Structure 1
Amino acid sequence: MQIVQGEKDRTFFETLKEDCSTEIKKSKFLPKDLWETYSAFSNTNGGTIYLGIKENSPKNIILGVENPRKVIDDFIVTCRNPSKVNYDNSNEENITLINIDGKTILQIDIEEAPLSKKPVFCGGNIENSFIRKGSADLKMTNDELRATFRNAKPDMDSLSAPNTSLDDLDSPTINRYRKKFNQQYPNRFESLSDTDFLIRIGAIYLQKNNTYAIKRGTLLFLGKYQSIKKVYPHFHLDYFNRISGQNRWDDRIASDEFYDFEMNVYNFFNIVWEKFLNSFNSPFALDENLERSNPRAIEVSLREALVNCLAHADYEQSYPSIKIEIHNGVYIFENPGQLLIPINQFTQGGESRPRNEMLMSFFRNCGFSERQGFGGQQIFGTSLKWKFRTPKIETDLEKTRLSIWTVKFADSYPDLTEKEILIINYLTNYPNPKAKKEIQEATELSEYHTKQTLDSLCKKEIIKRVGKSVATKYTITRSNQELLTLTKEALNILAKQL
């Protein structure tokens, strides 16, 4: 437990507002409704509960808690009572006592629970499972509960698909896959029949009744569209090309349209990937020697994102469906289901937890995926090296959305003025904040235009101020993901120099 004293925190608490990770409670004791927030933070992204503050306008009122030690003991004891909450998410190191004018505020930091322990519920009733949305604690719907259980036990695509047989697999798709497989592993399995080949790679297996069990991932990857729909009623794949910027798309591929081939995951991947390759006609950035760098790194990055989108999707979820979009300078990948590892771990690499291991195995066997667990690192590292705008990844219980830009940071904002672009291009070249005078001298803008442009960019939250008064400096607004990537790249450069 930490004890913090000092007047300097008063303004922070007086202006504190509730949001997706902050809860304020005026109770001087341990309030009964705390456990709904405890459940919500545990089931979402974690958060902080403050006891002893009353929300008020224009300033919150600091009330403090009575007998803080007893409140802490009651909290810890209740966390360990399975009739109250099903998972003990307490840690005394995450509890802080803050003294303001003799009044004690209790700060309780709640960490996100491991996927295997979700849903965290209260009152001994799983229907009392909550998630955090905005500043509200909301009861989980039945769909959200089912999604939570699936997150706790991924790799469901390795189970057999019910009421299916070899007839539900598409022979032309299998042939195309085998050709690609043979390029990766020549002279391995060319002599095998399709059935023996699928057995050999673990896609199907022979049951005791001498019938073949088709794994769910195999059906998704190589199956006939209508057969897939029988097992996965919500199966839907969408691709949109919106490069022209018009309201209507320029090109679209949808799994529910009529084609002369079966629309399964493998065929969709190949079609979309071919369209990606065709979209690379526009020139990429030049390197520091004014030579065009090898664009393969960008291709690998986008291919990893496409593979991840298809292999990490929750195909049992009713909404949203898989959607791939190309806009002018940005590729967007959206799939149903939550990312099963922390975002920071995804960006740094080293850990892999695909939702559909069977699908990922199909992709890896053909060389469509790089080292396992390093796809995110490839995506973020490539953008950093090419000085593109840093990718953005968002994930919650419903979906995961990854945006990858193939243009410089300033070019990713189409409505910027020339002066704004000038300042952004200067700041993106320097990881450390810069003073207004430094920016003015580098850009050769007048003092008036420099101040006006900096204020405009701060208002748009593209850059931010660091420090106060004469010590004020400016820097690009960066996410935690981007800061971690920059730090790791700096360490790599330092290691090479040693």
Structure 2
Amino acid sequence: MENLDLLVRELIKCSNETPWLEFKHNNYDPKMIGEDISALANSAALHEKNCAYMIWGICDKTHEVIGTKENLQTLKKGNQELENWLRSLLSENADFDFHSVALDNKTVGLLIIYSATNRTVMFEKTDYIRIGSYTKKLNEYPELQAKLWDKLHNSKFEDRSAKIDLEITNALQLLDCNAYFDNIRINQPQDIKSITHYLLEENILQKQDNGLYAITNLGAILFAKNLNNFPKLSRKAIRIVQYNDNSRLEMLKENIVENGYIVGFEGLIKYIEALIPTREIIIGAKRETHSAYPMLAIREALANALIHQEFALTGTGPVVEIFKNRIEITNPGQPLVDIKRIIDNPPKSRNEKLASLMRRMGLCEELGTGWDKIAITCELEQLPAPKINLYPDNTKVSLFSEKEFSCIAQEDKLWACYLHACIKYVQGEQLTNSSLRARFGLKDSSSGSVSRLIKEAVAQKLIKPLDPHTAPRYMKYIPFWG
């Protein structure tokens, strides 16, 4: 972060400590710092501030710069670095940075604490708030607690500021305006005023009360020339890792896409395509090269990961991992819909403005049909079904390369059977023994093993007969919710 000395000088001009600003001399008690991070993050949200601050080496009475001998980055709690100890006891939405600032030939310690998002920041499972210059437990002030939760529930990631107090020329230098106008299919205006008009209308920029401009999280995450210019968003850059085999033992390549998502998306897809294996097939007299995975499926799975991620989870971002036999795409947060209803349910996103803008620019499918296309393209190439794994803080989608039916795990066969029934149902058709054999690329002689698979899927209540009284030979099946 730049100009930290100017930031500290502005803060010490405040006549008193505020709910989002605290001055310290040399008190570095770890427990106190943890409680204050919770209190200041929650107070920043309550007072609609992007950040709160703790500053060491300032007299809290006169605001005179007296300096401090400690270095926040090297402090320890026992044998553990203070920052790591704090993060282990704070809720996962806590975000903060330690800095040392030279001021008047003295060292000042600066802790920048980012506003709470989506829910309160807690320390040791307790949330705190600032009352005047004191840190108190939030539950002791029910009126403030209700007001804070209202603010958090109505606050949207896209609307919050990623960078503030910018001259318009400086703001535009941080964004790739060409990418915006190219994807929106409008000729870019030649004058700054017209460019600014479009970006304000899209909520990429916001006009501040002081006449300067802020770049919103929406604008930065999609159109940043370099996400490192936005410290709180830099961890949301897309990371691509290629491994030598099917484990994470040997890494071959690693790349971090530091552009905003729309700026770097097409280049990212081409980069992934160059890394994944290809196979040659003969069609008539022609030899054609085919990717081991449907590129449409990769594109949609990656777009879904970007759109539906939980931005409030700090220290983590979207990751694409390429193995010899699969691709795994992981994003922070869990889906808002039941994964068993991901084919037919209406789309839901916690980041509606981001999703809308990416769809308008053609980076993903409209109306929630992305997962339909992922599943269908894998079926058409007779690949194992794409799989969704849920973890406490992450969602992982796996796409698999070609695999013999006999080598597919029973659990994955059942999931493929269920997805096939879902796809057929939304198309106005039903699963049959014949259609499932075609889905796996099996011959008529495999009818018995497919019947057993269908029977097991019915037993596990993934699918059900369309008409239980139909003769077994003509039986058709639909999803359990059909």
How does the TM-score come out when normalised to structure 2? Answer: 0.48
Between Structure 1 and Structure 2, which shows a larger proportion of strand residues? 2
Q: Indicate the structure whose relative CO is greater, using CA pairs within 8 Å and at least 6 residues apart.
A: 1
How does the TM-score come out when normalised to structure 1? Answer: 0.47
